Amino acid sequence: MNERHASVLIVKMTPLDDVLLNPAIKHLEELGFKAAVFNVPLHVPLTLYNWKRRQFKAETILDLVKREFSDVPYTAIIAVGYIDAYAEGLNFVFGYSTQRYGTVYVKRLKSDDVSVYQSRIIKEVTHELGHALGLEHCDVPRCVMNFSNSVEDVDKKSVFFCEKCSAKLSSILKAKQRV
Ligand code: ZN
Ligand code: ZN
C-alpha cells in the first residue's frame, strides 16, 4: 500500500479534541497516506447557516473549503467539524465532497462511547477522502465506501476500502503521480 504518496490535509471547522481526530490520522497513515492537521480552524460564517432548518448547507461550506485551500500542496483536503449539515434533497449528511475537497460533519456521529465516536469519525473521514480522490459509493456492505444513511449503517461498515475500491484508488493515485 505504500506506493501511495498521496497527502491529506485535515482542516478543523470547529474546535475538535485531538482524541477524536488522531485515530483518523493514524488510520490514513496506515492506509499509506501522508496526513497532517491544520490547526488554525476554518471560520465557517453564520451566513452559511439555514436558521429554518437549523443546519448548515453542505454545498456552501464545500465552496468555502475549495476557495480557502486551493493553493495548498496536498492531494486532498478534508475539513471536519462539529456541525450538522444538509445537502439539497437530503435531511442531513455525514459528509459532502467533490474532486480533491471533502467535508465531514461529526455532530450526528457523536456517541457517549468515545471509541464508537472515534470509529465513526475514522470511517467518515476515510469515506469522504475516497470521494475526494474519485471513488463512488460501493455495494460491498463492509466497504468504507458503502453509503450510510444512519449511524447504524456507519457502525456496520469497516474502516477499510474493499479490494475493488482499493485497486481503483491505487490506479487513480498512480495516474495522479504521472501528471
Ligand atoms: Zn458517500
Ligand atoms: Zn468498495
Q: How remote is the CA of residue 47 from the centroid of ligand 1, in Å?
A: 26
- Mean pLDDT, residues 138-165: 97
Ligand 2 centroid to Cα of residue 166, in Å, is 7
Ligand 2 center–CA 172 separation, angstroms: 14
- Binning pLDDT at 50, 70 and 90, where does residue 179 land? low
pLDDT, tens digit, 9 for 90 and up, residues 11-69: 999 999 999 999 999 999 999 999 999 988 899 999 999 999 999 999 999 999 999 99
Catalytic residue numbers read: 128
Name residues with Cβ closer than 5 Å to ligand 2, which is an ion.
138, 140, 143, 145, 162, 165
pTM: 0.95
Measure the CA–CA gap between 94 and 81, rounded to whole angstroms: 10
* Band of pLDDT at residue 4, cut at 50, 70 and 90: low
Residue 2 pLDDT level (bands cut at 50, 70, 90) = very low
Spell out the SS3 assignment of the chain: CCCCCCEEEEEECCCCCHHHHHHHHHHHHHCCCEEEEECCCCCCCHHHEECCCCEEEHHHHHHHHHHHCCCCCCCEEEEEECCCEEECCEEEECEEEECCEEEEECHHHCCCCHHHHHHHHHHHHHHHHHHHCCCCCCCCCCCCCCCCCCHHHHHHCCCCCCHHHHHHHHHHHHHHHHC
Which pLDDT band, with edges at 50, 70 and 90, does 177 fall under?
confident
Q: What is the pLDDT of residue 14?
A: 95
Q: What is the pLDDT of residue 117?
A: 98
Question: For residue range 57-107, what is the model confidence (pLDDT) as tens digits?
Answer: 999 999 999 999 999 999 999 999 999 999 999 999 999 999 999 999 999
pLDDT at residue 94, as a whole number:
98
Whether residue 112 has pLDDT greater than 90: yes
Q: What is the mean pLDDT of the chain?
A: 95
